[in-house]
Structure 1
């Protein structure tokens, strides 16, 4: 049997294949995606769901001249296979391999980098406006899922696109809406016929003719337009998009290559903004993913034959699991606790909470800004909201945290999952900036627990604190500590000395505590005796503990899984400056660049954030200069 995927040199070759050959190609693409993701992990269900749509887009368009902008990008595996990356596809999400998301630096076919949701329409509209400014004629297509359409940014893009009337095609990939087969088939037929070149010419000519008839023309035109709108409104949700100024087409069967190709050929000839609505099934072609699309949305390595995710060698729960279980325990005792997430119920460990307390759980969709301000409203009425959002996605709600929460000093607990390096999802998903962008906010307390017991204590502290409280934890297995009894709250801003030393001190937070302790043990065997302190909080800092340790130390080292600019190390430097101390310091953290994808252990080693890397940096400093103890900084004054 011919392997069409292996024979493809570029997307242009799709135009030479028959419909039957394209269907075989779709099966080959699904096979390659399942094979690779079963080994490497990745976003399986979403990519399997858009195989036919991807083939149809590249068949009809002239890519890369025509631009395809993928929203989020976790559905772009078929796109990568069709655009020259077949020979590298086995490196997907691995260190130095191809990304799991579209990247402009990776291929000219990747028109816009992605990783966060709801950006495609705005980006595509910008490209269309630039095309018109520069006198181009290429087509611009945004592909957005129904989940991403819950984000406010998507509606902002729709609003301006309808107002500007640019030639723009938005493909709504809908894998949630339920439309009966008969209605869907009729709507598909009407969409194909009503977008044909002949019908468009007839409709345009008829409207012009009716508009010119004296006295009766405008009335007749209104009747025709209302009849057309009523028919489409009865069969489809198109009125919403037409209110934004779009020509609505659909819904179509997103797995019918015949319908997709014919309709796209028609749609690309239309002028102005067009929204093409296609219905797809997540996990299409792999039964286990079809049955459990949430499990196979973002999945680790699994057994293809059984669909079973391969168990981790580590027996400890993840920090996410500890968080979810502890929140259920707390909610059983405190009816004020409510939980909020932004389309990440499973990812944030809130599935059991949602099941146990459906009236106290809110999934707001991909709308982080709304989630934060919604929590502020709940808090104003006496509830204790817990907002669980990945660190990288909370960046989208910066102003809401600053103005709606911290300014009003509202008691809200923020659980920042995926704090630090997340691994294979890469730079768009690393939680590398939260310590820096949140630390300057007044009224905010920010704790970084070092293990699962400290995480539980952070949660209890957050609920009892009368103000905004952040705590972050990594995408990782916990240390396997026994979790018994009710955790005790931690005094705000109180740290802990974990190890003594006479040659210097390491201040480390969160996941870096274990690495710092291991580095200190290795250095002690070389005669370098360093203490290790867990400040617990990056804000407020334990002034007494840290300043006291710094006064006695020949070297102060800070270690954090965050960018150095404005992070924990910067906070320590500011503290020592306020105290008039001139410390010999070494700050260790993430470098000033976007960190690529790979396993957490590989990335920690590459960034010097494992025990070996920390010891190496300290060894180099200690060997380079003669230690000088902290001394009062006479020329420094505060005023």
Structure 2
């Protein structure tokens, strides 16, 4: 179904934008804006940030010649209009094609997309590299990146440390390099940090205020107040198109420009409003709150009760607060106990180390995919220094998300760091007890906790068996009280859990055998625990009760519980590890290495009957928007598939 009609109907590539008459440009922008507003209502997505750059993107493709002139979007969730102008308009105009493209730039879709990008702050560095190759003569004439190089950065990305590194290098590098700062006055939530106060002064002074961070770094600089006026942008971009030195074009735009009264009734409004970062399709607004918000709200409620008595207890979020149940209401009540570091994960981890060193209690919360950006600081500043900080790792494991936001590498990434514990709770009770232990004791190093996901949430809610749970972590607009009321049935929200002095040392080093059986031991790590339970039932059905498996809840993936594994190896023919992360380099391989080692203390040498080990988990691949149930079938992670694999291994089938 067509949403609107106009010049966009005839755009197949950027050359078609060049061929439009001048009087068709504003109607083109209007049609794109109306289409994006309708797309947000029907499909959802990062609509607000894209509405801010409609005119900019049209102007870019009017003035420049993509892909000869390379346009690098950062964060590339701002690329919807770009996709519409490069042959992919149907994905935003026709509901039958809505899911045919990703929400980020993707070279697999189009030669006009320079990089697959879903994280932030890297566009300027990428642009510097492309400009360097061009200036060294490495790019053939007419090839992608042989002309102008343009980095479009904004929506909070400029505060990322790597963006500032890129700016510093760009000024020294020289040559044609255009950095467009899309200043819509917002990040994912509100902007934080002195950098944005500087941008505000520049806006207020029409670009004349001092100090100016861009000129201080040696960049040429121009300011455009009317960043949503396509004619002004075309004029300014034409003026700087062939510039022979790096320049920053700072444009002032409005996030969510064009959202209408229907959007407003659903709480999505233009301007400086957190709710227009991500928009749900209106038909999904009554969906239950997903695991990230559920368990995040429980964690925040528990910590909030302690704020009056613990001045050093600080929750840290690098910009992605609301996605993880850290709601505006909680933030307001927390006051100085909550810090948004902006999109600066590496700074956030080092900042947490500083708090811990000074005697405070930092809790750093973000997604597994974003903890990747802080890996060095987690190792060096936190683990190496043995500092008692707590990391809450959301959205870990395989998922149906875009390939730039996968959490499937979390165990391979975090569980092997020395002097650090990575805990994997299988219930809300375990999760909150682990959080309580990690934040009340200083007799341990850095502790990361894998926040329970959709399978555990479904299991606790009594929705089927918790296996094959769908992904329901869409954004919602409810307050903390509504979220915690919904989750109170899982555990008393905000309850403080007493910690026995005798258990202040890590009480999670031993695995928990929840069901004692024989022959087969099923070890379900974290979110795979419900799958292990249901697999046990499937095995009993398949074998007529001949096999009654042992079910083990490991509770952590950073250490080996030698005593439990030796006992399992001595009494079981088969050990099966289940993890919803990458098998290669993951937790299961470490279990297998120990259990099958002839040097294991419980082994009696080369003639000892070693148990067989089957390690099940995700493949070594990037997956892109494949539904979670499909991935589970692909990897053989459904209870029936695991049970059949076990029967075959035992030669019972």
> So what's the TM-score if we normalise by structure 2?
0.82
Structure of greater Rg: 1
Q: 1:32 aligns with which of 35, 56, 59?
A: 35
Counterpart in the other structure of 1:428: 404
Cα pair 1:175 1:281 within 8 Å, conserved = yes
Confirm or deny: 8 A CA contact 1:506 1:532 kept in the other structure.
Answer: yes
1:97 aligns with 2:67: no
Structure 2 partner of 1:505: 521
1:203 matched residue in structure 2: none
1:597 shift after superposition: 1.2
Structure 1: distance between partners of 2:558 and 2:133: 44
Preserved contact between residue 40 and residue 300 of structure 1 (Cα < 8 Å): yes
Q: 1:403 to 1:362 in 2, by over 3 A?
A: same
Deviates more, 1:65-74 or 1:545-554: 545-554
Q: Deviations over 1:418-464 (max 9, x none)?
A: 1113433x121111112112222221111111122221112112113
Task: Quote the Cα distance in structure 2 between the aligned partners of 1:256 and 1:338.
Answer: 43
Could you tell me which residue of structure 1 aligns to residue 645 of structure 2?
617
User: Could you say if the C-alpha distance between residues 397 and 24 of structure 1 is closer, same or farther in structure 2, counting changes exceeding 3 Å?
Assistant: same
Q: Secondary structure at the match of 1:295?
A: helix
Matched residue, 2:249: 276
Which 5+ residue runs of structure 1 have no aligned equivalent?
188-231, 304-308, 626-639
Aligned match for 1:175, one of 157, 179, 184: 184
Select the residue among 559, 584, 593 that pairs with 1:540.
Answer: 559
Equivalents in 2 of 1:294, 1:7: separation in Å? 35
Return the match for 1:470 from 441, 448, 453: 448
Contact 2:198 2:213 in 1 (8 A): no
- In the TM superposition, residue 291 of structure 1 has moved relative to its aligned partner by 5.8
Change over 3 Å in CA distance of 1:67–1:159 after alignment to 2: same
Q: For 1:12-41, what per-residue CA distance to the aligned partner results, in whole angstroms no more than 9, with x for missing partners?
A: 111233444222222222233233333333
SS at match of 2:573: coil
**Aligned to 2:542, what secondary structure does the other structure show?**
coil
Give the match's secondary structure for 1:289: coil
Deviations 1:565-593 (A, max 9, x none): 22110221233234354330110111011
**Corresponding residue number in structure 1 for 2:269:** 289
Cα pair distance change 1:438/1:35, threshold 3 Å = same
CA gap of 1:499–1:421, structure 2 versus 1, over 3 A, is: same
Change (3 A) 1:541 1:266: same
Which deviations, in whole Å up to 9, do the C-alpha atoms of 1:204-239 show, x marking residues without a partner? xxxxxxxxxxxxxxxxxxxxxxxxxxxx634xx683
- SS of the equivalent of 2:404 reads coil
Is the Cα contact below 8 Å between 1:343 and 1:365 reproduced in 2?
yes
Is the contact made by 1:504 and 1:556 (CA closer than 8 Å) also made in structure 2? Answer: yes
* Secondary structure of residue in 1 paired with 2:621: coil
Question: Partner of 2:172 in structure 1?
Answer: 163
Quote the residue 1:358 is aligned against.
335
Distance 1:470 1:393, change over 3 A: same
Q: Distance in 1 between matches of 2:317 and 2:131?
A: 34
Classify the secondary structure of the residue corresponding to 1:144. strand
8 A contact 2:341–2:347 mirrored in 1: yes
2:365 match: secondary structure: strand
TM superposition shift of 1:118: 0.4
Corresponding residue SS for 1:141: strand
Q: Alpha-carbon deviation of 1:240?
A: 1.7
Among residues 589, 592, 596, which one is paired with 2:620 in the alignment? 592
Question: In the alignment, what sits opposite 1:450?
Answer: 426
Contact 2:616 2:637 in 1 (8 A): yes
C-alpha displacement of 1:89:
4.0
| Residues 117-148 of structure 1 deviation map (CA, whole Å, 9 limit, x = unaligned) | 00100001111111112265411100001511
Give runs of aligned pairs for residues 131-142 of structure 1, distance below 5 A. Answer: 131-134=134-137, 136=141, 137-142=146-151
Question: Which 10-residue stretch deviates more, 599-608 or 371-380?
Answer: 599-608
TM-score by length of 1: 0.83
Distance between the aligned counterparts of 1:343 and 1:551, measured in 2? 49
Q: Aligned with 1:471: secondary structure?
A: strand
1:168-215 CA deviation, whole Å, 9 max, x = no partner? 00000001169999996994xxxxxxxxxxxxxxxxxxxxxxxxxxxx
Matches within 5 A, 1:67-466: 67-89=70-92, 97-134=100-137, 136=141, 137-145=146-154, 147-176=156-185, 187=206, 233-234=208-209, 239-287=212-260, 288-290=268-270, 293-302=273-282, 310-313=285-288, 318-332=294-308, 334-351=310-327, 352-424=329-401, 426-466=402-442
Point out where structure 2 has 5 or more consecutive residues left out of the alignment: 186-195, 261-267, 462-488, 604-609
CA-to-aligned-CA distance 1:368-396 (integer Å, 9 cap, x gap): 11111111111111111001121111111
Looking at structure 1, the residues matched to 288 and 150 of structure 2 have their Cα atoms a distance apart, in angstroms, of 43
2:582 to 552, 559, 563: 563
Aligned-residue offset at 1:623: 4.1
Name the structure 2 match of 1:193: none
Residues in 2 aligned to 1:599 and 1:289: alpha-carbon distance in whole angstroms: 30
Contact 2:176/2:244, CA 8 A, preserved across alignment: yes
Distance 1:540 1:315, change over 3 A: closer
What corresponds to 1:483 in structure 2?
491
| Alignment-derived partner of residue 579 in structure 1 | 601
Residues 327 and 353, structure 1, Cα contact 8 Å, conserved in 2: no
Return the offset for 1:163: 0.5
**Higher mean displacement: 476-485 or 372-381:** 476-485
Counterparts of 2:308 and 2:589 in 1: how far apart (Å)? 40
Measure how far apart 1:293 and its partner are: 3.7
Tell me the equivalent position of 2:465. none
